[in-house]
Amino acid sequence: MGLTTLLFVVLIGTSTTSGGMCCAGKDDCLARNFGHGSVVCECNASHCDSVGSVKLPPVGQFLSFLSSKAGSRLVRGQGTVLQNSTGAALRLTIVPYQKYQRIKGFGGAMTDAAAINILSLSGGTQDQLLRQYFAPEGIAYSVVRVPMASCDFSTRLYTYADSAGDYSLTNFTLSAEDTEMKIPLIQKAQAMSPQPLSLLASAWSAPAWMKTSGALIGKGTLKGHPGGKEYKTWAHYYVRFLEEYRKFNLSFWAVTTGNEPSAGQMTNYSFQALGFTPETQRDWVIMDLGPALHASPFADTRVIILDDNRLLLPHWAKVVLSDVRAARYIHGIGVHWYLNKLVPAELSLGTTHHVFPEYFLFGTEACAGWSPLDRGVKLGSWERAEDYAHDIIEDLNHYVTGWTDWNLALDLGGGPNWVKNFVDSPIIVDEKKDVFYKQPTFYSLAHFSKFLLEGSLRVGVSSSKASALESSAFIRPDGAVVLVILNRSEEHIPFEIWYPEVGFIPMDAAARSILTVVWATQ
C-alpha cells in the first residue's frame, strides 16, 4: 500500500437532520479510502458504525436506508406517505396479491480462515466483529455455513477420519480448527443472536482412503458404487459430524450433499473436492445418506442437493428429484454464484422452480474477487457491492429463499488459503492494527439481511415504465413492507412507490446506490 492511498479519513455523519459533516458519533462510519472507488468503515473494539435496532414508525410514515458509492452507509431517512401521486414518471407499485417464496435467511461461512482471522484480533475486537453480523444492533445474519473438515480456506489438509480403512469411523474426531476455533466462535455468535442460528454443513472431500484418487484434491470419487461400503461410510460420517457438534450444543438446520460435486470431476482440480454426477448423488441419497439420516436423531435436518453453480440446473435437479426414492429425503437445492453470467436466472433457477416448486432454492456460496481477471481483496470497491446486490435481487426474483456469503472474514491478502485461492470478504481484518474494515459488500448484504426477517413473503412489484432500477419487494411476518432498490445506472429519474391502501412514497435513488424502504401497514 503506497503513501498516496494512505489516507483520506472522512467522517460521514449518519444524522439526516444535521446535514453537515461534524462530530463522529458512536454510530458513525469511520471512513477510509484505499483508492478503489469508495470507502470502507474501520472498526475496533470500542468504535464501530451501526444501523442499530430498527423500530418502525407508525402507519403513514416510512423509513429509508441508503448506501452509495459516494460514501453513504445505511444512512437513515424518514418521511410521510402521501395520499396523492407526486406525478413522477416512474412508479413502482407493490402488488401484494402476487405471492412468491418465503425468506429463510442470510449469512456467511465460518471457514477455518474466517475463524483464524477473527481470533487474530484482541478479545474486544473479536466481539465487536461478531456483533456486526449477529447481535441485534448488527445486520441480523441467521445462517452460518460450516465446512465439514478442511477446504481451500484452511491452512492444512485434513478430514475427521484420516486413519486408513476405518470403515466403522471409530477414530472419527473433530479437528482443533473445530473445537478451538470455529465452535467457540459459533457459540458466541449464537449467544449474541436474538434468534436461533440456522447452521448449514458442507463437506469438500471424503477421507483420501475412501476415494478412487487416494487424495483429498484433484479428480476423484468415492470408491465402489452407491450402496457399497465407501458410500455407506461417507453417509455415516455425516451422522458422526452432527453427533459431535451436538456435544457442543450446536444443531444443524441443513446439510448439503457436498460442496461443488462437479469440481471432483475435473482433471487436476487444485484443492479438496469429491466428484459426484447427478446420478451418483441421487443413488447415494437413495441408498445411503437418506436412510442414514432418517434412522439417526437428525431426521429433521434438511438435505440440500447440488451446492454448486446454477448452470447445472435444471438438469441436475431433474435427475435427482425425478426419482421419488431420492426426492423424499430432499428439501432444497443449493446454488453458488460463480459463472452466473453463462446462464440466465430464468432458464436455471426459474425453470427448476417451475418443475419442482416444493423444493426450496438457496444460495449457499458467493464471493467477490474470485475471477482471475479481478482477483483478491479490493478495499472499498463499490462495483463489488453492486455485484452482490444485483445477484441477490436476481436470485430473490427467481424464487431463491436466502443467500450465504463465503468467508465471514479474511486478512488483507484475502487468505489464509493453502492453495493461494485468495478472494474478497465483506470483513477484512488487519491483525497488526487490531481493526477490521467493513467493505461495501457488507452493507450491500445488510440491505437485505437486516430487513428481510425469516418468513418474509416476496410479492410483486410492477414498474410504470422500463427503467434501469432493479428491485424486489416483500411483506414481513409483522406486516411491514420492504422494498430493496439497486441503482447501477447513469440515468436520472426520480420515482415514487405506490402501495395501494397506504399511499405514495416519493423517492430518489441516489447515483450508484442501494436503497431499502420499509413501512408498516398495520
Ligand X SMILES: *[C@@H]1O[C@H](CO)[C@@H](O)[C@H](O)[C@H]1NC(C)=O
Instruction: List the catalytic residues.
Output: 260, 365
Minimum distance from residue 285 beta carbon to ligand X (Å): 27
- Under the binding rule (CB under 6 A), the answer on residue 190 touching ligand X is yes
Minimum distance from residue 109 beta carbon to ligand X (Å): 20
Cβ closest to ligand X, residue 407 vs residue 513 = 513
| C-beta of residue 303 within 8 angstroms of C-beta of residue 285 | yes
- Provide the strand spans (E) within 44-114: 61-68, 75-80, 90-102, 105-109
Q: Which three cell numbers stand for residue 243?
A: 453427533
Residue 7, preceding peptide bond in cis (omega within 30° of 0):
yes
How far is the C-alpha of 322 from the C-alpha of 52, rounded, in Å?
Answer: 46
- Under the binding rule (CB under 6 A), the answer on residue 83 touching ligand X is yes
Q: Work out which of 267, 299, 324, 466 binds ligand X, going by CB under 6 A.
A: 267
In 3D space, the residue among 370, 389, 374 whose CA is nearest the CA of residue 488 turns out to be: 389
Cβ closest to ligand X, residue 432 vs residue 492 = 492
Q: What mask, x for binding ligand X by CB under 6 A, covers residues 110 to 149?
A: ----------------------------------------
- Under the binding rule (CB under 6 A), the answer on residue 486 touching ligand X is no
- Under the binding rule (CB under 6 A), the answer on residue 270 touching ligand X is no
Minimum distance from residue 70 beta carbon to ligand X (Å): 10
- Under the binding rule (CB under 6 A), the answer on residue 240 touching ligand X is no
Q: Work out which of 4, 17, 249, 522 binds ligand X, going by CB under 6 A.
A: 249
CB atoms within 10 A of CB 225: 13
- Under the binding rule (CB under 6 A), the answer on residue 490 touching ligand X is yes
Part in contact with ligand X (CB under 6 A); list of ranges 14-22, 40-48, 222-230, 252-260: 40-48
Q: How far is CA 324 from CA 281, 285, 290, 314, in A?
A: 14, 11, 12, 17
- Under the binding rule (CB under 6 A), the answer on residue 44 touching ligand X is yes
Q: Work out which of 2, 84, 156, 522 binds ligand X, going by CB under 6 A.
A: 84
Minimum distance from residue 190 beta carbon to ligand X (Å): 6
Q: What mask, x for binding ligand X by CB under 6 A, covers residues 442 to 471?
A: ---------------------------x--
Part in contact with ligand X (CB under 6 A); list of ranges 146-154, 274-282, 405-413, 490-498: 490-498
In 3D space, the residue among 517, 276, 253 whose CA is nearest the CA of residue 404 turns out to be: 253
- Under the binding rule (CB under 6 A), the answer on residue 493 touching ligand X is yes
How far is the C-alpha of 190 from the C-alpha of 135, rounded, in Å?
Answer: 9
- Under the binding rule (CB under 6 A), the answer on residue 419 touching ligand X is no
Site residue total, ligand X (CB under 6 A): 29
Part in contact with ligand X (CB under 6 A); list of ranges 199-207, 313-321, 359-367, 503-511: 503-511
Half-sphere CA count of 467, side-chain side, radius 13 A: 24
| C-beta of residue 221 within 8 angstroms of C-beta of residue 280 | yes
Instruction: State residue 420 phi and psi, 5-degree precision.
Output: 60, 35
| C-beta of residue 57 within 8 angstroms of C-beta of residue 504 | no
How far is the C-alpha of 500 from the C-alpha of 520, rounded, in Å?
Answer: 13
Part in contact with ligand X (CB under 6 A); list of ranges 41-49, 92-100, 236-244, 378-386: 41-49
In 3D space, the residue among 483, 324, 313, 331 whose CA is nearest the CA of residue 397 turns out to be: 483
- Under the binding rule (CB under 6 A), the answer on residue 487 touching ligand X is yes
Q: Which three cell numbers stand for residue 488?
A: 447501477
Q: Which residues pair with 43 in a beta bridge?
A: 436
Q: Which three cell numbers stand for residue 167?
A: 470403515
Part in contact with ligand X (CB under 6 A); list of ranges 133-141, 288-296, 377-385, 506-514: 506-514
Contact partners, residue 161, CB within 8 Å, separation at least 6: 169, 171, 172, 173, 207, 237, 240
Minimum distance from residue 160 beta carbon to ligand X (Å): 12
Q: Work out which of 77, 194, 196, 460 binds ligand X, going by CB under 6 A.
A: 196
- Under the binding rule (CB under 6 A), the answer on residue 170 touching ligand X is yes
Residue nearest to ligand X (CB): 511
In 3D space, the residue among 355, 350, 366, 352 whose CA is nearest the CA of residue 402 turns out to be: 366
Instruction: State residue 67 phi and psi, 5-degree precision.
Output: -125, 145
Cβ closest to ligand X, residue 173 vs residue 277 = 173
Part in contact with ligand X (CB under 6 A); list of ranges 44-52, 142-150, 292-300, 378-386: 44-52
How far is the C-alpha of 134 from the C-alpha of 140, rounded, in Å?
Answer: 5
Q: Work out which of 45, 70, 355, 419 binds ligand X, going by CB under 6 A.
A: 45
Q: Work out which of 16, 163, 270, 462 binds ligand X, going by CB under 6 A.
A: 163
CB atoms within 10 A of CB 286: 20
Distance of CA 93 to the CA centre of its chain: 28
Return the SS3 of 375. coil
Interface with ligand X by CB under 6 A: which residues?
A: 30, 44-47, 83-84, 163, 165-166, 170-171, 190, 196, 249, 267-268, 469, 487, 489-490, 492-495, 508-509, 511-512
